[in-house]
Amino acid sequence: MSVAAERIDRLHALARAAAADGDDERASAYVRLARRIAERNRLELPRQFKRFTCDACDAYLRPGKNARVRLRDGHVVVTCDCGSQARYPYE
């Protein structure tokens, strides 16, 4: 794993921990930083990272707290508090 990929993993863990502490601002700062590193290094963000972050506002998503999760037509639909929706195939 590259240094950049390791930093992204670390930032993902930090974002998750900050979100669990209820510090949404710090969580989204980590999310933004991880995105920047991925972009600069032309890395694909890990699937778990993509699913737990909002593309629109960089929030770290906590279902039942700042995001709603629904199953619809074989898809998982995640709605962030900012109104942005993401759809994934149900696995």
Annotated binding-site residues for Zn(2+) read 54, 57, 80, 82
From the list 1-9, 15-23, 27-35, 72-80, the region that binds Zn ion by CB under 5 A is: 72-80
Write the interaction track for Zn ion spanning residues 2-41; mark x where CB under 5 A is met and - where it is not.
Answer: ----------------------------------------
Cβ atoms of 61 and 18 within 8 Å: the answer is no
Q: Does 59 bind Zn ion (CB under 5 A)?
A: yes
Distance of CA 23 to the CA centre of its chain: 15
From the list 6-14, 16-24, 34-42, 75-83, the region that binds Zn ion by CB under 5 A is: 75-83
> In three state form, how does the secondary structure of 52-85 look?
CECCCCCCECCECCCEEEEEECCEEEEEECCCCE
d(CA 80, CA 85): 6
- Give 17 or 82: the residue with its C-beta nearer to Zn ion: 82
